[in-house]
Structure 1
């Protein structure tokens, strides 16, 4: 959430922004390729569009990845416009470099290591984590929602802990790794589990306790700096927001907008609970870790672990309970219809991991082409299928 439109100032529980990470894949081999610098340089000189105002493009950890960050958005329509504009700009630039832009939690095919993006911080990260990082071609979708201050942000984070595995399950979009079906819905999350301090954050209770825990991890050498935490939700270290980092990069703009709408509604609901002095639900750390693993393993195909009940519950039931929990917040921002419509389409067509497997039945290169068209219709040709057009909505 780096930019700001004049008509959308930062309003707690209302303004939001999204950071999307993308893969750059060779248009012939479909392997990840280290062309981020060239793509970003080309995208930066394209003529500006009004709908793109407020968004930024930037490098990511590996040279096969790029990131688009929207500005502050007050409505899901505004957010969708910025997301679509950024994708089109990056896709055009990628095409000039014989590459396609793909939104997926992991690359489908194996390929040579793309290398670390230059810069002091990226180099320090690579030095700290070595092969865990050089093999980490994982892409996520981060949602920022404005909050008043750090104290409230920490309280909101404490309230969001039970819902994170459900958000992961429905957004899971990375079943393939090095040309193989992993059997997981989110292999990205499995890879992220290799980093220290990943998963559902502990209960903090106060901003001071949060800062103390982050400082301790930095002092212990497991984090490069205070901005490096791997928790699935956190107070943003740079912005007055709560940052949800749980979702895989989702293929279509419509899915990203749905996730952002749910994330904002969860934050709004938590803000209301905090204002009324309601304590955060009790979630034991080991049960939370089990819930994240189950969500990564099964997605929406099976039962998940409810961190509060501490038992297995059908995934569809947990998603339904999440939506019911935040319906008043969705109604307050006018998002009920778009969320219910998107969820109905999700139930009919299946989540990202399920669709990836369906397309892979025609071959892995066919899957990559479908992912490219879903990310930005028109890639890698001008004949997007009706199936992918509906998925893009």
Structure 2
């Protein structure tokens, strides 16, 4: 099997460094960052709120290449934010106060604001979206069906939004709670093929619950623009290495799904309400509390689900030479905690301003943590 390409979109908050409140300077920051020296195919883009900016990588094959793209995007956004008196912060929800209640001036985002009203007024949620290349859109739909049981565990590993507007929500991912207010959030329904997927999205647009066919809230979907499977489940990563981790986990899951499809194994639909319970548990507790096993349809420790995920994708990670990297990063999460855990530890000792400082993007070098020279591909297990 050829190695699938991958790309990542990271969303960041633009924050006043003096008070920690988000500030609506996205137009200036994106224009300035877009002029930076970025890798081929990388872009800096606007997001729903004028307090957000998104850095998108180009098409990458190796972890080292992806890491370099991510580092360049983070540097560009960080420098542009500083040029306009702000800082860029890698949190999936605002830690302190919000300046994002002003309706967007961009036509599509303005239409979304008009459609959803108060649901979007304070919606400054930031995600880490991963794209993995596949052959065609029917294949993308079949792969998404296979991904469903694993998406809550990906969410649990990524949680990085415990605070919202100066309060501890008690959740690992408040972003997901906010997202659940939109129609169709969570795991995608089971679809037979891309025609069925497209027809359902068209019905939701016709029913007035989606602004257009490019707007769905499912955690994984065939990309509306690219020949990829798009993961939209993870909170924005507090560190660059965690963003790479989410991409490698996603690519490995796609590889396993493609192998299953080659063997003629189609996915089984997951029960809707149990899937919703699994998502809620992941958002609430992260990878250290209870979780829901979507095969056994019962509660198990979330740590067991992480182990099951790593077992499920072991051969795929070995084939791409990413096994050691992924295990090292997961071990680091186990010892240091998730982004949400680390935010809370910093808040205990230094308060919320210290959290904002901790999450502020810096001019990170292209560190050698993901060098293929240091981690050569391993032989696949027989």
Residue of structure 2 aligned with 1:36, choices 17, 26, 32: 26
Separation in 2 of the partners of 1:312 and 1:275?
31
- Aligned counterpart, 2:13: 23
Instruction: Note the alpha carbon deviations across 1:168-225, whole angstroms, 9 max, x for none.
Output: 0010100001100000000000000000011001111222211111111111110111
- Aligned counterpart, 2:352: 364
Q: Does residue 349 of the first structure (1) align with residue 336 of the second (2)?
A: yes
Count of matched residue positions in the alignment of Structure 1 and Structure 2: 368
CA contact 1:233–1:242 (8 Å) conserved in 2 = yes
1:37-116 matches, within 5 Å, as: 37-46=27-36, 48=37, 52-116=39-103
Shift of 1:152: 0.6
Separation in 1 of the partners of 2:92 and 2:177?
11
Separation in 1 of the partners of 2:176 and 2:59?
27
- Aligned counterpart, 1:235: 222
Please give the root-mean-square deviation of Cα atoms over the aligned residues, in Å. Answer: 1.9
Q: Does residue 209 of the first structure (1) align with residue 199 of the second (2)?
A: no
CA contact 2:64–2:370 (8 Å) conserved in 1 = no
Separation in 1 of the partners of 2:135 and 2:31?
36
Shift of 1:108: 0.2
Higher mean alpha-carbon deviation, 34-43 vs 190-199, is at: 34-43
1:237-276 matches, within 5 Å, as: 237-276=224-263
Gaps of 5+ in 2: 372-382
Separation in 1 of the partners of 2:107 and 2:315?
45
Following superposition, which runs of at least 4 residues in structure 1 exceed 6 angstroms of deviation? none
Gaps of 5+ in 1: 1-10, 379-388
Separation in 1 of the partners of 2:97 and 2:263?
51
- Aligned counterpart, 1:329: 316
Shift of 1:301: 2.6
Shift of 1:282: 3.6
Separation in 1 of the partners of 2:2 and 2:96?
41
Shift of 1:115: 2.3
Shift of 1:313: 1.0
Separation in 2 of the partners of 1:377 and 1:96?
14
Separation in 2 of the partners of 1:111 and 1:209?
40
Separation in 2 of the partners of 1:66 and 1:146?
24
- Aligned counterpart, 1:3: none
Shift of 1:53: 2.7
Separation in 1 of the partners of 2:208 and 2:370?
42
